[in-house]
Amino acid sequence: MLKRLAILCPGQGGQHSRMFEFAHRDAQTRDWLASSPLESELGMPVDVVLNDGTQLFANRFAQPLMVASAASTWNAIRDLVPAPALVAGYSIGELSAYAVAGSLDAGAAVALAGCRARLMDECASEATPQQLVAVSGMSTARLGAFLPDDALFIAIETGDDSAIIGGDKAAAEILSGKLRAMGCRVSVLPVGVASHTPYMNAAASRFLAEMRQHRFAPPVFPVVAGISGRLVFGVEDAQATLASQIANTIRWKDCMDSCAEAGITIALELGPGTALSRMLRERHPYIECRAIDEFRSAEGVARWVGRHFD
């Protein structure tokens, strides 16, 4: 059986104070982090943000942190594992995916993440308070029927009966109570912007213009488009889908199905966190899935991947 590796790049939510420890074990990667634009994008020392729970989950800090984490982790392991058949990224992780796929210099990707966060925060500040809420126990189609027009939207489809909704905070709180009463599991996410909803339309168009100011190359490995699950091979398509996903529904369940349809047998999540590898394992149990956070060293990653390619 042909073995095929997928690299998964997470979105916000799994940040923790030790999220760069794996990358720091590699001297070359440690040097890259020290010279990267990450601290400039944060506006303060990285350790200060990592050790402040409030700042760690604030959108303006979380997005560049997530991209820097994925890019630096990939730098530490890329010469030790087979070339991936594809790369998939969840939310801001889709920008990380293009750094992994060689479309963007890692430093440029971190800078674009900072820009993306600022543009989204500007959209949030111009409207009423916003919220993202995870809901499970109801089909996406049925859930959509409960969403008040122009107030709440499906932001991310994570499964057949699970999704993230986003929009007006007050409307989200009212609907959350109704859904809990119906037996759904509801949890508020630590994100204060209505990502992947029309609330972000202005940010999407401005981010597209910003991306066109950076050098973009065709991806060395295809990247899965979050808004459709199809594979992206060209620059214009990459930029268009990266911009569009800011204000449109992420169809992560379709992205996971694309991994299966592409014959993926092994998936490695760059971290931080383990959410993507867990979701893919649950949806397609025959795909061997693990996350970087489960390993102590790059050599351990290489041994695990290598065993599945023997």
Q: What is the pLDDT of residues 247-277, one digit of tens each?
A: 999 999 999 999 999 999 999 999 899 999 9
What single-letter amino acid sits at 86? L
Euclidean distance between CA atoms 98 and 223, whole angstroms? 7
As a whole number, mean pLDDT of residues 219-237 equals: 97
pLDDT at 1: 61
pLDDT at 127: 66
Position 121 pLDDT exceeds 90: yes
Rg (CA), the chain: 18
pLDDT at 138: 96
Instruction: Report which DSSP code applies to 167.
Output: E
pLDDT at 126: 65
Residues 6+ apart with CB under 8 A from 214: 104, 108, 111, 112
Q: Which residues of 280-305 are buried (b: 16+ CB within 10 A; e: fewer)?
A: bbebbeebbbbbbbebeebeebbebb
As a whole number, mean pLDDT of residues 147-160 equals: 95
Percent of the chain with pLDDT over 90: 88
Output the average pLDDT for the chain: 94
Residues 264, 289 contacting (CB under 8 angstroms): no
pLDDT tens readout for residues 53-82? 889 999 999 999 999 999 999 999 999 999
End-to-end CA distance of the chain: 11
Fold category of 130-188 in CATH = Alpha-Beta Plaits (3.30.70)
Euclidean distance between CA atoms 53 and 75, whole angstroms? 27
* pLDDT band, residue 124 (cuts 50/70/90): confident
Fold category of 5-125+197-309 in CATH = Malonyl-Coenzyme A Acyl Carrier Protein; domain 2 (3.40.366)
Residues 6+ apart with CB under 8 A from 310: none
pTM: 0.95
pLDDT tens readout for residues 4-58? 999 999 999 899 999 999 988 888 888 888 889 999 999 999 999 999 988 999 9
Residues 6+ apart with CB under 8 A from 285: none
pLDDT tens readout for residues 160-198? 999 999 999 999 999 999 999 999 999 999 888 999 999
Residue ranges of domains in the chain? 5-125+197-309, 130-188
Position 302 pLDDT exceeds 80: yes
